[in-house]
Structure 1
Amino acid sequence: MKILVTGRPNVGKTQFVISLAQFYNLKNVIYTFKATNGIKHKRKLSLSDCSKLLINSTANHTKNIYDFTIPIKKGKGHINIALMDSCGITSEIHHDNTVRAGIAQAIGHYSDCDAMFHVVDSHNYKQMSSVDEEIYSFGSELGYYLVLANKIDLLFSEMTISKIKNDFKNTIVLPISAKEGKGLKEVAYYVNKIV
């Protein structure tokens, strides 16, 4: 199963992916870096090294798809899911060629995924942006679509949750803090239901 993690820049997509891997008690993770030119590189790193390498507060730090393989216990065995971290989607044509290619790559995976996790920044949320509206429109057509209202660990963030739930009213909205691991149990429950 392929789960695409998408959303605007700096909403915490990469932090979420790594935190979910930690929630599943993984010490190391195997991820495939998919360059926009089609070349793939597979790598095994500790989650600590992944955090140092991949998490950054700079907008559009993630410029390519990072496909993390996460084994989920199912019955007596396990099922591998591909949790795909992606470039942040912007409403304007980005000035950087690499970021533009990363955005195109992310959007190209919209029709190639089995499920979509749409990460929204609850701390800076005022209303649904045009980018979030487009993602919501597309995601609602998928069988499995989940909105993750991230950054509830920050001051006043929990006050925006009812607004987010109202704006994304036809889907499940889970409040989370990818940084502190809050809400990941509910995300894992959802993942276990769909695999």
Structure 2
Amino acid sequence: MKNCLLVGRTNVGKTIFCINFAEYLGLTRMEVLFQLPDGTTRQRKYDMVKARHELSGGGIHKTRNLQSISLELPRGKGVREFKLTDSTGLADGIPTDLEMREAMAQTLEQLRQADCVLHMVDAPEIHRAGGLGKLGELDQQVAEIGQRKSGYLCLVNKTDLPEGQRGFRLLEKELKGVNLLPISALYRHGFREVKEHVWRLV
């Protein structure tokens, strides 16, 4: 089964995207496989309300390990299966917390292995910083690694906001030739295009 990794900075909206995208594809309950940095795994089932409450939130580093959901993509008479993996939010510098260093290292290792990379960035933050380059090197490095894979797509989140729209236009100028998609993880804008992208890869 192909693995589609969602990666990006902390608090860009990765987890709420995963939950809402799973619901968009028809799930009413989801079984999450947690893969801890020490190699242990556990599974847990959620309804969508509980998943939003327990897995997503405004706290920094809410996600501290890989969290995978098996999903089906129906199309015509066919169905294709893939694994959508949420990851620990990345940050500039080296975290002082050992657990977070291990979690980020796990994310970076998965970035090298994934069949498909969905790289999420925060469009309003890009606008406020004056461009991706001024926001920091982290996202540029992720984009460089991701673009080596045919399945790379940069999800430019929060473009439902005016600042987000301006941030997207900045990115279009800054990252010419990069596969960019404006979305709203919260309001599910752009989900049809994400589905089409994943379908071609799995």
Q: TM (normalized to structure 2)?
A: 0.92
Confirm or deny: 8 A CA contact 1:149 1:174 kept in the other structure. yes
Q: 2-side partners of 1:170 and 1:43: how far apart?
A: 40
Partner-residue secondary structure (3-state), 2:111: coil
Partner of residue 3, structure 2:
2
Partner of residue 12, structure 2:
11
Partner of residue 117, structure 2:
116
Partner of residue 21, structure 1:
22
Q: CA deviation at 1:77?
A: 4.1
Partner of residue 44, structure 1:
45
Q: 2-side partners of 1:75 and 1:2: how far apart?
A: 22
Residues 1:141 and 2:148 are matched in the alignment:
yes
Q: CA deviation at 1:151?
A: 1.0
Partner letter of residue 131 of structure 2?
Q
Partner-residue secondary structure (3-state), 1:29: strand
**What pairs with 1:58-69 in structure 2 (closer than 5 Å)?**
58-69=59-70
Query: What per-residue deviation string (whole Å, max 9, x for no partner) do you get for residues 135-174 of structure 1?
Result: 0110110111000000122342111211112223222111
Partner letter of residue 127 of structure 1?
G
193, 197, 201: which one aligns with 1:194:
201
**What pairs with 1:100-179 in structure 2 (closer than 5 Å)?**
100-125=101-126, 126-128=130-132, 129-179=136-186
Q: CA deviation at 1:75?
A: 5.0
Structure 1 unaligned segments of length 5 or more: list them.
Answer: none
Partner letter of residue 179 of structure 2?
I
Where do 4+ consecutive residues of structure 1 move more than 6 Å?
Answer: none
Q: CA deviation at 1:187?
A: 0.8
Partner-residue secondary structure (3-state), 2:113: coil
Q: 2-side partners of 1:26 and 1:66: how far apart?
A: 16
Partner of residue 84, structure 2:
83
Deviates most, 82-91 or 152-161: 152-161
Partner letter of residue 194 of structure 2?
V
Partner-residue secondary structure (3-state), 1:82: strand
Q: CA deviation at 1:8?
A: 0.9
Deviates most, 165-174 or 80-89: 165-174
Confirm or deny: 8 A CA contact 1:29 1:70 kept in the other structure. no
Partner-residue secondary structure (3-state), 1:186: helix
Partner-residue secondary structure (3-state), 1:111: helix
Question: What is the RMSD computed on CA atoms of the aligned residues?
Answer: 1.3
Confirm or deny: 8 A CA contact 2:155 2:183 kept in the other structure. yes
Partner of residue 73, structure 1:
74
Structure 2 unaligned segments of length 5 or more: list them.
Answer: none
Q: CA deviation at 1:74?
A: 4.6
Q: 1-side partners of 2:78 and 2:30: how far apart?
A: 18
